[in-house]
Amino acid sequence: MQGPEEKEAEKDGETALDIRKRKRLERDPLHQGLIVQRSHLKGREYQIDLAARLGKTQVVGVNMPLNQQAGYYCSVCDCILRDSQSYLDHINGKWHNRALGMTMRVEKSTVDQVRKRLEENKKKKEEKNDDDYLPDGIDRRILEAEQAEERAQEEKRTRKLEKKQKERQQREEEETEGADADMMAVMGFGGFGTTKK
């Protein structure tokens, strides 16, 4: 199926592709002299509501302006997309972003920028959790970490003490055993458990 403008174009010896190219150039701010250089690709600052016209009834005619026809209308490129998927493809695409004065290249982030963003996100996360702040302004997680460290140190200390105690006990046992043996030898015993005298 051909649109009315494409039929009209063929009369002048211009193909549909030529027309599309010419229109793209006409919309391009670089070719209009509005900008000198394309900017890097930027994120959208608005939310897309794909369901904005859901459930609405509309009369559609062939000769109506594009923005009143069925589908998703792009006011930048003056074109209509028939479904949400192709609309998203379009507004994320090369020609649409060119018309907005951008290249498809994304600006390279520096280490500082990445660090800053990470810090911002961290701050945001911390702000959300009010429970993490005790009344006196101490961060609960820091407090918990400190307590855990203290507990670990105490455990280590008790383990050391136990070990020392065990060693001492063993030494004492060995000494008493030796002493017993000496004593028994003196008294003429061969050892416990014997019936000889």
List interacting residues with Zn ion (CB under 5 A).
74, 76-77, 96
The answer to whether 26 touches 32, Cβ cutoff 8 Å, is yes
Q: Smallest distance, Å, CB 79 to Zn ion?
A: 6
Nearer to Zn ion, 48 or 114 (CB): 48
Nearest-angstrom CA–CA distance, 27 and 21: 10
The three-state secondary structure class of 28 is: coil
Q: Smallest distance, Å, CB 101 to Zn ion?
A: 13
Strand locations in the chain (E): 39-41, 72-74, 79-81, 102-106
Q: Smallest distance, Å, CB 27 to Zn ion?
A: 9
Nearer to Zn ion, 45 or 112 (CB): 45
Q: What percent of the chain is helix, strand and coil (3-state, nearest 5)? A: 55, 10, 40
Nearer to Zn ion, 9 or 102 (CB): 102
Q: Smallest distance, Å, CB 73 to Zn ion?
A: 9
Nearer to Zn ion, 16 or 74 (CB): 74
Nearest-angstrom CA–CA distance, 112 and 116: 6
